Amino acid sequence: MTTRKKATAPGANDDIRHQPEAFFLEALAAARVGTWTWDIATDEIVWSREVERLFGLSPGTFDGTYASYQRFQHPDDLARVERAITHAIQSGSAYDIEHRVRRIDGSVRWVQGRGRAAYDDDGKAIRMAGTVVDITDKKRISEHAARMQFTIERASDAVFWHDRNARFIYANLKACEELGYTREELEQLSVADISTTDPWEGWDEFWQGLTERKTLKLESVHRRKDGSTFPAEVHLNYIDYGGDGFVCAFVRNISARVEADEKRKRLEAQVLHAKKLESLGVLAGGIAHDFNNLLVGILGSASLAASEVREDSSIRERLEVIQNAALRASDLATQMLAYAGKGTRHVEPLSISELVTETSRLLEHTISNKAILRLELASDPLMVRGDATQLRQVLMNLLTNASDALEGRSGSITLGTGTIDAEPGDFRDSVIATELPAGKYHFVQVEDDGSGIHQESLTKIFDPFYTTKFAGRGLGLAAVLGIVTAHEGAIQLESATGTGTRFKVFLPALTSNGVLTGAAKPKSSSASWHGQGTVLVVDDEELVRNVAALILKKHGFQVLTAADGREAIELASKSRDLSLVLLDMTMPGMDGEQTHRALRELNPGLPVVLSSGFGEQDAARRFRENPPDAYVQKPYRVGELVSAIRSVLENRRPLDD
């Protein structure tokens, strides 16, 4: 529509000065604003070259009708544009609308259309004029900004902008939600109002360092409007915007991560502690086993010697002192074996409720007279399979410790029972490292409001020989741990200095499965009984072999001895007339279980009496498929060994029965 004219000196050419319309059109073209005029009566449209460029038309290729103009409108926006123009004509108001147009090559552009109608004296619209501006780039930037704003507003992390003085100038929705402030409230605050750890005293140096580094990652603690706090991971980004320095901060609440890290550390500590206890258990079991072998020599020899002297002899009295000392030493070994989970157990169905009630009655007069014993017991019997004596020992140790924790002050001890349906992972925080299967468990809980346990002692109290008591031996809780482990249970412990202590012992609830029992119990011993035949004594300890051989020879047997399983098999294969084998369960190389299996293959009817310092239940579990004929616990006296052998030989059946 217009052509750009060359500028001339004032006075040289007055055309533009005297044609303001042309001058105005030149200005619009320079501003990249297209103009158009529509004669409503003739339907003719005249537009500027800028409109032609917008539509991608070559000069003079437009036929100049309104209908032709409509074909450049985007089909999805055409009706909306028509309504805007119609409304402007009918109302006499201007229209202003953003819409899309489709260029001659099919590409789409966004434009801003503005226009107003002109009327004759009768009020009839005769023409319309307006402008059209390409706003595609502006629209794209605006939409991008809107998307960014939408993204930031709904980000899962809090986003802040603050200025040089740490005052907030922007906070997104997550920031408001996390801190409990409205946006308006936050924009009246500074970082100092929400952060408890940032370096405010050295803020100037901190800011200078940030301007040089541009980015910084740190952990802080943020305070909510209600005063509560949470750990936060903060990513700071220095931004120079409009000549001023700002910080865009991304803040993440890391409470879950911190809690998970703390839980992981606790679990790692528990696993390490449990592994240490397991290692100590192996050590204690090994010591107890070797100790029992030595006690066999002491107790057996003393018992033999006592049987050979007169009852009124002073020597017999001294021998009885030796025997009693050996038995007390055996009790100590038994406690170590209980810690190792290998103590003697007589498993039977029993009621936890009855056991707790009976034990509490026994101990109510032995605990501190300033302690109030409260019972919170389930009404059900809570049946489990266990050794009543050992479980009673667990309760006695826990109740005694609870009483001692009161340190002579008034206080209370609560003894409770109950049942849980455990899910996988429920026992991960227990003292025992082995993860127990899901299922129903009964529990006994002993809780006191005493002085609590120091943190440094929590990881040691189950160690054998560790004690904080002046006269303690440090085997009480060690035995508790071993007994509960052997019963396939768990222990949970909660305590802190000044807050009291709670022990919770879980045991598997009784099922319909049969109980695993040991071999038949021997008859009562008979010092005067004599047998006949040949007994093979198999034990890796020479002292045990010699004492057992002396006892058996004194009671009429011929004796062969073997220091290990292979030697025993060799002797048994050569001596087909063996009457019985006294077999040690724990030996290096070929152990008792392997030796027993080989002996039975060699001679299925050969009686075997198993001897071990470990518990009978442990032996029964290992010899489940092929049990021995009897079991004798080390250290044994003469009568106990002879009674076991007599019981087996007198109850022996011929193979063809």
- What homologous superfamily is domain 32-133 in, according to CATH? PAS domain (3.30.450.20)
| pLDDT for residue 262 | 85
Residue 438, token pair as written in the block: 């899901």
Summarize pLDDT for 291-321 with one digit per residue, the tens. 777 777 787 787 778 777 777 777 877 777 7
pLDDT tens-place string over residues 512-527? 443 333 333 444 445 6
Cβ(501)–Cβ(494) under 8 Å? yes
Q: Which fold has domain 348-508?
A: Heat Shock Protein 90 (3.30.565)
- CA-to-CA distance for 321 and 65, rounded, in angstroms? 131
Q: Identify the CA nearest to 307 among candidates 632, 525, 541, 609.
A: 525
pLDDT for the residue 306: 77
Please return the burial class of 514, using the count of CB atoms within 10 Å of its CB with bins 0-12, 13-18 and 19+.
exposed
Burial of residue 532, with CB atoms counted within 10 A of its CB: 0-12 exposed, 13-18 middle, 19 or more buried: exposed
From 491, 525, 493, 486, select the one nearest 506 (Cα to Cα).
491
Q: With bands split at pLDDT 50, 70 and 90, how would you rate the model's confidence at 27?
A: low
Q: What is the DSSP letter of 240?
A: E
Categorise residue 56: left if φ over 0, alpha if ψ from -120 to 50, beta otherwise: left
Integer angstrom CA distances of residue 293 from 81, 541, 612, 635: 105, 7, 9, 7
Q: Which residue has the higher pLDDT, 328 or 524?
A: 328
Per-residue pLDDT band at 562 (split at 50, 70, 90): very high
In whole angstroms, what is the distance from residue 637 CA to residue 500 CA? Answer: 45
Residue 212 has pLDDT above 50, yes or no: yes
Look at residue 603 and give its three-state secondary structure: coil
Question: Which one has a higher pLDDT value, 518 or 226?
Answer: 226
Phi-psi region of 557 (alpha: psi -120 to 50; beta: other; left: phi over 0): beta
Q: Are 29 and 49 spatial neighbours (Cβ–Cβ below 8 Å)?
A: yes
10 Å CB burial of residue 285 (0-12, 13-18, 19+) is buried
* β-sheet bridge partners, residue 441: 420, 508
Q: How far apart, in whole angstroms, are the C-alpha atoms of residue 72 and residue 124?
A: 27
- In the predicted model, what is the mean pLDDT of residues 52-71? 80
pLDDT at 248 over 70: yes
Structure tokens at 650: 């007198």
CA 623 from centroid of its chain's CA atoms? 37
Q: Long-range contacts for 567-571 (Cβ within 8 Å, ≥24 apart)?
A: 567/538, 568/536, 568/538, 568/595, 568/599, 569/595, 569/598, 569/599, 569/602, 571/536
CA-closest candidate to residue 38, choices 153, 120, 116, 124: 116
Pseudo-torsion of CA 270, 275, 278, 279, nearest 10°? -140
Could you give the strand order of the β-sheet that contains 229-241, starting from the edge strand earlier in sequence?
Answer: 168-171, 158-162, 244-253, 229-241, 215-223
Strands of the sheet with 411-422, listed across from one edge? 371-376, 411-422, 439-448, 501-508, 490-495
With contact defined as beta carbons under 8 Å apart, do 516 and 617 qualify?
yes
Q: What architecture is domain 534-650?
A: 3-Layer(aba) Sandwich (3.40)
pLDDT in tens, 447-472: 888 888 777 676 677 776 666 664 44
What's the CATH code, domain 154-253? 3.30.450.20
Cα–Cα distance between 372 and 413 in angstroms, integer? 6
Mean pLDDT of 79-99: 91
Give the separation between CA 641 and CA 174, rounded to whole angstroms.
78
What span, in angstroms and rounded, lies between the C-alpha atoms of 28 and 407? Answer: 97
Q: How far apart are the C-alpha atoms of 50 and 33, rounded to whole Å?
A: 7
Position 20 confidence tier, pLDDT thresholds 50, 70, 90: low
d(CA 534, CA 578): 5
Give CB contacts under 8 A, 24+ apart, made by 20-26: 25/1, 26/2
Residues ≥6 apart with Cβ < 8 Å to 146: none
Could you tell me the pLDDT band of residue 342, with boundaries at 50, 70 and 90?
Answer: low
Encode pLDDT of 586-640 as tens digits. Answer: 888 888 889 998 998 888 889 999 988 766 666 667 777 788 888 888 887 788 8
Residue 385: per-residue pLDDT: 86
Could you give the 3-state DSSP secondary structure of residue 475?
coil
For the cut 80, the answer to whether the pLDDT of residue 25 exceeds it is: no
Letter for the amino acid at 372? I
- Report residue 26's pLDDT band, with 50, 70 and 90 as the boundaries: low
Opening angle at CA 393, ends 392 and 394, nearest 5: 90
Who's near 261: CB < 8 A, 6+ residues apart? none
Tell me which residue of 352, 390, 355, 353 sits closest to 482, measured CA to CA.
390
Q: Which of 1, 38, 44 is nearest to 22 (CA)?
A: 1
How high is the pLDDT of residue 585?
85
Residue 468: which region, alpha, beta or left (left: phi > 0; alpha: psi -120 to 50)? alpha
